[in-house]
């Protein structure tokens, strides 16, 4: 069955709004951990479909699905073995179509993940490359090179993998001898494609069309700034992790090379040839002014604002990043996006439970200093209320609407993030934000599955965080998120304009249209301005705004 003739385009109520993405609140689903329909302890597509009412009730505009494609799961599905299929663990293409149809009926758009920098070492193209000799057209789809040193025993350059260790792995040739090396910016199970080869470009266009024909509303594009590498793959004796900055005006040879923009322009043309305003969202850990170049009018639509996500709970830093982000994106006519959590970083309800900066992807073990859970949640609620008052588009990560903390006491034996092994058990990694969600206060896995044996174990304290436990509690985090999203939509804050008001040190105070926002980051209560009333607040308010609280006000 091909989808082009069986899948209807987005329904009229969705197709009508050209600019939906400029203001959209997009909810990220990590399929492995959202909801399990078949009792194997791993989430799946039918599980998601069965829970879509939760998203409709929350009031989001779109959902983004992290990869659900066939994959050996060396990197949680970001090692894709087949770009145009569904992993049997997650269901079938028919299950995907059912999910999409149900989401559209509920008025929720669906964005899928495109992983173009690398595939899985189990992809047929890579297996074919391994089976052929050096110099073959099959090898030219990837970056194969001879090694340096006497027997070619040293990697071709000094690049390191984002998951620690060299970015190169040596292969064994057909005659059994050690042979060439291939490049992988991430795990050895994730060989980088060679985007200088037109066959790679053509194949990804086929993938884009495949999902567009099925009716998806767009793509979140994984590590999109790494597709093109500098000619000759030169050494780079500088750090390449975290937000990537130029050194003496030169970008690292694996990041943000000029050639990426032609690829995005070609994709934009392709998307624009479809109806329904399909979008591209860039995942690139670049400073705002570099990320903005990817979202010029003929390239992608949006880029994640990782600078915002990285900003600690400090008033001056927050104000600066908000201004910097709006300025950088306004200059290219793109909406600013906002994000506090995703599947790669410590959940913000825990991050803000530490005083001072936190290593985002490092992970926390049971013996490490633990976050203050109450303080973290209080600040997280205030931070979300601040974020959702800002103009532009916002991304939410599954479970943050429940105020879920990072799981900081996972048994080390359960860890799956490849960085844990590759770092020699130095870096625990990102599993703590990927633990299966609690839906009910009781049950073998709090309603996630029929089995208690979930792919990552859930903590015993999950019950009160469950969606069911919070649904009818007006003080719950779920209730707060619902209220913020409803008011954001009602007051059209996504299309609004931010104007700072004067405020005491440590207080962020601004208007966006009819809504006036105050976030108190001091340790003292601050008085509410006169002749205003509170429409929503992240914590109880009297005639003062307590520390670590955000309020939305309107004039009486
Ligand atoms: C992106 C993904 C992350 C993955 C990496 C490699 O950063 O968000 O989860 O490990 O790319 O694909």
SS3 of 341-352: the string is CCCCCCCHHHHC
Q: Are residues 316 and 452 in the same domain?
A: yes
Look up the CATH number of the domain holding residue 514.
2.60.40.1180
Which of 102-116, 229-243, 479-493, 539-553 has the least mean pLDDT?
229-243
- Find out whether 52 and 46 touch, Cβ atoms under 8 Å: no
Is 345 domain-assigned? Answer: yes
* More confident call, 15 vs 428: 428
Q: Are residues 429 and 477 in the same domain?
A: yes
Q: Are residues 20 and 147 in the same domain?
A: no
DSSP-assigned states of every residue in 205-245:
HHHHHHHHHHT--EEEETTGGGSS--TT-----S--SSS--
- The pLDDT tens digits of the residues spanning 153-168 come to 999 999 999 999 999 9
Residue nearest to atom 6 of ligand 1 (CA): 78
Q: Are residues 287 and 300 in the same domain?
A: yes
Q: Is the pLDDT of residue 14 over 70?
A: no
Q: How far is the CA of 222 from the centre of ligand 1 (A)?
A: 6
Query: Helix 477-490 crosses helix 373-387 at what angle (to 10 degrees)?
Result: 10
Residue range of the domain that includes 514: 498-555
> What is the token pair recorded at 37?
């329909």
Q: Is the pLDDT of residue 318 over 60?
A: yes
Q: Is the pLDDT of residue 75 over 80?
A: yes
Residue nearest to atom 3 of ligand 1 (CA): 344
Query: Which one, of 347, 398, 548, lies nearest residue 65 by Cα?
Result: 398
DSSP-assigned states of every residue in 2-59:
-STTTSPPSPHHHHT-TTHHHH-EEEEE-GGGT--SSSSSS--HHHHHHTHHHHHHHT
Question: How many angstroms separate the first and last alpha carbons of the chain?
Answer: 59
Is there a catalytic annotation at residue 222?
Answer: yes
Q: Are residues 301 and 404 in the same domain?
A: yes
Torsion over CA of 521, 522, 526 and 528, rounded to 10 degrees?
-10
Is 486 domain-assigned? Answer: no
Q: Are residues 529 and 447 in the same domain?
A: no
- The CB of 344 under 6 Å from ligand 1? The reply is yes
Catalytic hit among 79, 283, 344, 406:
283
Is 307 domain-assigned? Answer: yes
Is there a catalytic annotation at residue 283?
Answer: yes
> What is the token pair recorded at 93?
């293409």
Give the per-residue pLDDT at 53.
98
Tell how strand 109-114 and strand 62-65 pair up.
Answer: parallel
Query: Which one, of 328, 422, 433, 78, lies nearest residue 221 by Cα?
Result: 78
Give the per-residue pLDDT at 8.
45
Q: Is the pLDDT of residue 10 over 60?
A: no
Average pLDDT, rounded, for the chain: 95
- The pLDDT tens digits of the residues spanning 275-303 come to 889 999 999 999 888 999 999 999 999 99
Give the per-residue pLDDT at 246.
87
Q: Is the pLDDT of residue 13 over 60?
A: no
Give the per-residue pLDDT at 11.
54
Is 422 domain-assigned? Answer: yes
> What is the token pair recorded at 110?
């669906």
Q: How far is the CA of 71 from the centre of ligand 1 (A)?
A: 14
- The pLDDT tens digits of the residues spanning 226-274 come to 999 999 999 998 888 776 888 988 999 999 999 999 999 999 999 999 9
Classify burial at 505, counting beta carbons within 10 Å of its beta carbon; exposed 0-12, middle 13-18, buried 19 or more.
exposed
- The CB of 192 under 6 Å from ligand 1? The reply is no
Is the pTM of the predicted complex or chain greater than 0.75? yes
Look up the CATH number of the domain holding residue 144.
3.90.400.10
Q: What is the mean pLDDT of residues 424-437?
A: 97
Number of domains forming the structure of the chain:
3
Percent of residues in the chain assigned helix, strand, coil, to nearest 5: 30, 15, 55
> What is the token pair recorded at 347?
């959940």
Give the per-residue pLDDT at 238.
87
Give the per-residue pLDDT at 239.
81
> What is the token pair recorded at 29?
């689903």
Sheet of 218-221, strand order: 302-303, 279-282, 218-221, 109-114, 62-65, 25-29, 393-397, 337-339
Give the per-residue pLDDT at 66.
98
Residue with tokens 């990285």: 310
Q: Are residues 355 and 215 in the same domain?
A: yes
Q: How far is the CA of 472 from the centre of ligand 1 (A)?
A: 36
């Amino acid at each position: 069955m091909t989808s082009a003739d069986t899948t209807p385009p987005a329904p009229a109520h969705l197709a009508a709004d050209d600019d939906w993405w400029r203001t959209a609140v997009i909810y990220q689903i990590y399929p492995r951990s959202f909801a399990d329909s078949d009792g194997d302890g791993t989430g799946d597509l039918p599980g998601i479909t069965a829970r879509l009412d939760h998203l409709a009730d929350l009031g989001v505009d779109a959902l983004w699905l992290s990869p659900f494609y066939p994959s050996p799961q060396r990197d949680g599905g970001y090692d894709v073995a087949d770009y145009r299929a569904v992993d049997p663990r997650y269901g079938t293409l028919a299950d995907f179509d059912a999910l999409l149809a149900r989401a559209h009926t509920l008025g929720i758009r669906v964005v899928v993940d495109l992983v173009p920098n690398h595939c899985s070492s189990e992809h047929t193209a890579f297996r074919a490359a391994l089976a052929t000799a050096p110099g073959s057209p099959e090898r030219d789809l990837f970056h194969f090179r001879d090694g340096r040193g006497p027997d070619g025993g040293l990697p071709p350059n000094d690049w390191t993998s984002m998951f620690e260790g060299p970015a190169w792995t040596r292969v064994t040739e057909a005659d059994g001898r050690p042979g060439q090396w291939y490049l992988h910016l991430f795990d050895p199970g994730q060989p980088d494609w060679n985007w200088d080869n037109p066959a790679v470009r053509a194949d990804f266009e086929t993938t884009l069309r495949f999902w567009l024909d099925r009716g998806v509303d767009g793509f979140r594009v994984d590590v999109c700034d790494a597709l093109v590498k500098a000619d000759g793959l030169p050494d780079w004796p500088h750090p390449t992790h975290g937000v990537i900055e130029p050194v003496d005006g030169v970008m690292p040879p694996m990041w943000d090379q000029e050639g990426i923009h032609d690829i995005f322009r070609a994709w934009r043309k392709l998307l624009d040839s479809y109806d329904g305003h399909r979008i591209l969202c860039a995942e690139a850990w670049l400073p705002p002014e570099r990320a903005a170049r990817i979202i010029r009018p003929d390239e992608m639509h949006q880029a994640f604002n990782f600078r915002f996500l990285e900003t600690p709970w400090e008033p001056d830093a927050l104000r600066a990043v908000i201004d910097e982000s709006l300025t950088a994106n306004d200059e290219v006519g793109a909406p600013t996006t906002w994000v506090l959590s995703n599947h790669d970083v410590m959940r913000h309800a825990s991050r803000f439970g530490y005083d001072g900066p936190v290593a985002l992807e490092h992970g926390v073990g049971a013996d490490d200093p633990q976050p203050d859970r109450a303080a973290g949640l209080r600040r997280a609620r205030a931070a979300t209320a601040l974020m959702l008052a800002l103009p532009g588009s916002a991304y939410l990560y599954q479970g943050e609407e429940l105020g879920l903390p990072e799981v900081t006491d996972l048994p080390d034996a359960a860890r799956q993030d490849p960085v844990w092994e590759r770092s020699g058990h130095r870096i625990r990694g990102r599993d703590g934000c990927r633990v299966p969600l609690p839906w009910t206060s009781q049950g073998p896995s709090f309603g996630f599955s029929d089995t208690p044996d979930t792919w990552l174990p859930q903590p015993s304290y999950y019950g009160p965080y469950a969606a069911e436990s919070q649904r009818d509690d007006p003080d719950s985090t779920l209730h707060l998120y619902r209220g913020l999203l409803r008011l954001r939509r009602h007051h059209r804050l996504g299309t609004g304009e931010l104007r700072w008001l004067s405020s005491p040190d440590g207080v962020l105070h601004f208007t966006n249209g009819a809504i006036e926002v105050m976030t108190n980051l001091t340790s003292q209560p601050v008085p509410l301005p006169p002749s205003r009333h509170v429409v929503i607040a992240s914590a109880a308010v009297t005639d003062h705004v307590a520390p670590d609280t955000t309020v939305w006000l309107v004039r009486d």
